[in-house]
Structures are given as C-alpha cells and as structure tokens.
Amino acid sequence: MYDYDLLVVGSANADLVIGVERRPGAGETVLGGDLATHPGGKGANQAVAAARLGARTALLARVGDDAHGRLLLDSQRAAGVDTVGVLVGGAPTGVALITVDPSGDNSIVVSPGANGRLAPADVRAAACLFHASRVVSTQLEIPLETVVEVVRNLAPGSRFVLNPSPPRPLPGEVLAACDPLIVNEHEARVILGEACVSEEPADWARLLLAKGPKSVVVTLGAEGALVADGHGVASVPSVKVDAVDTTGAGDAFTAALAVRLGGGAALAEAAAYAARVGAAAVTRRGAQGSYPTAAEVDALCCAVPGDVVSDSGSAAGRTPGRGSGSAPGSGGQGGML
C-alpha cells in the first residue's frame, strides 16, 4: 500500500511575470504591464496540479530561506501537498522571469538558485518517500546527477515519469526507466539529436521509444499529442480553449498523466485526461493558480472537438480548424506543453 499517489522531485521557483504586447527580439526593449509574482517551478507546479486533482502528493525540492521560499511552501501546503521533503537553505530560491504575450504564449528564463543545490545525497536521504510513492515524476530544472539518483532509488513496482525540460541529452540509465518520457516538439528534437531524421512526430515517437523508454508521449500543441509504447503509436486529440496564459500548462499535463497512470489507466486514456487538465489550465492566468480541480476537469468531458471552452468550463461556441485558441489539453497556439 502506497502513502502517496505521486512523489514529485524537482524545482520550485518564484515566477516573476510581465505581460507584453509582443516579446522582445535580440537587443530590443519593450514596455510591459505590472509585475506579478506567483509560486512556480516545474516540480512545484506538478505537485500542486496533482494535489488539486485529489492525488496524495509529496514534493522533494529545495528552496531558499527567504520570502520566495516561504511563498512556495505556503502554496504547496494550501494545495494539500506534503512538504516533508522540501529542504530549506543553501542558496536563494530559484526565480523564473516570464513574459506573456496577448495570445497567451510565453518565454521563460530560469535562475536555478536553490534548485541547483538539490543533490543526489538529498535523494538518498529521502528513501522513505520513494518507497511510499506509487509514481515518481521529475524534470531537468534540477541537476542531471540528481535525476540519475532518483532513478537509482525507485522502489520496486513504482513508475517513473520524466519531462526532460529544459532538454539535454540523457544517459541510457534514465531513458530506460521512463514510463513515459514526455516531450514537446523542441524537447524531442534535442533528445533525438542526430537521430532526428524525420519531420513527422510519429517518427519522433518511434525513434524516442527505440532509445529505451518503456513509453513516450509527444505533445503537439494545437495538434494534440501522440502516445507510443510496445503496442504502437496512437493520437490523442486536443481540446480547443480560449487560451489566456500557457505558463505551467505542460506541468499540469504531466502531473495529470502521472496520476492517471498510477491509478491504472492506459497510456492513451491517461493522456486524454491530461489534455483536458492542460486545456482548463490555460484559460486562467498564472501557473499554480490556474490548475483545475477534478470536478472542473470533468466539466470539459462534455466539450465537443471544435468547441471553444471558457474558464467556466462551458463550451463558448464552435471554432472550425486550427487557431490561436486551440489546445492540446495544454491550450493555446501549440508547443507549450
């Protein structure tokens, strides 16, 4: 019997967000709106998203002994996340500088801060959390050697989910543990490197699977997602929404997928549910504050492909074709998962 449905090992950042009419080019300065500070970080986001869905969730992370660290701890506890694994001190809390344009697309620069101090020794010291967790999820906003140590400390029978963001080449030991490896288009290209000999996402999924993961999910923005395992490649359709802010939507997708897989769902079924969670998230501003409850996700079950769903969860009209309001469950113009 597991105490936790999901253990997230990863980053916790303060998101400093500015709305802009357009994102600046190289050497360019643009004026933006008022600065907003939100709790974020891919690890902290996934933990909150899972807890909001009703999953028993724990977080292993490191924050600074500062105001941003306290903001993050308060946010986790308010969502119902067990923060026994959150370490405090060693460096300032990580910060993400985020610009969001009117379409909801964003650009992000991360200063890792305390995230870079989450060490393999911290993973080994948290062995009790690993043995108590059905699914373990992580990302690459923490040191790669720490991710490797996570793989080495997985409990027998548990499941490992990895979103390699920001992407970098991965050792075979990590790839072999992934079930699934979750990538967007950019991440797929980086992980494949010279092996990316095709422009077809289905080929990316097959090539990634050949690198060793037990399963692969490729998210495709407004085109939905592809799932691949030993049974082949399948398509998961998108849910169209009025996208407001895509920040953290991919984290919501990953968390929901991990929770559903831990509950026994098949990969395609879990990805379809995650798509609805991501779609709901982009209809609100911010990352953690945008994440839906299970009841709000259920409201999207009634959405018909082509319907645009507002932040109330109701269909707001029929939108043909592809547009800036379409989403793969993480909403918006695509590529943000």
At 296, phi and psi to the nearest 5? -70, -35
Nearest Cα residue to 213 out of 261, 160, 253: 160
Peptide bond into 92 cis (omega under 30): no
Which residues touch 156 (CB under 8 Å, ≥6 apart)? none
Nearest Cα residue to 259 out of 239, 240, 276: 276
Residues acting as catalytic residues: 251
Tokens 């995230």 belong to 115
The vertex-209 CA angle with 131 and 250, nearest 5°, equals 65
Gyration radius of the chain over CA positions = 18
Task: Give the DSSP H/E element, type plus range, for residue 88.
Answer: strand 82-88
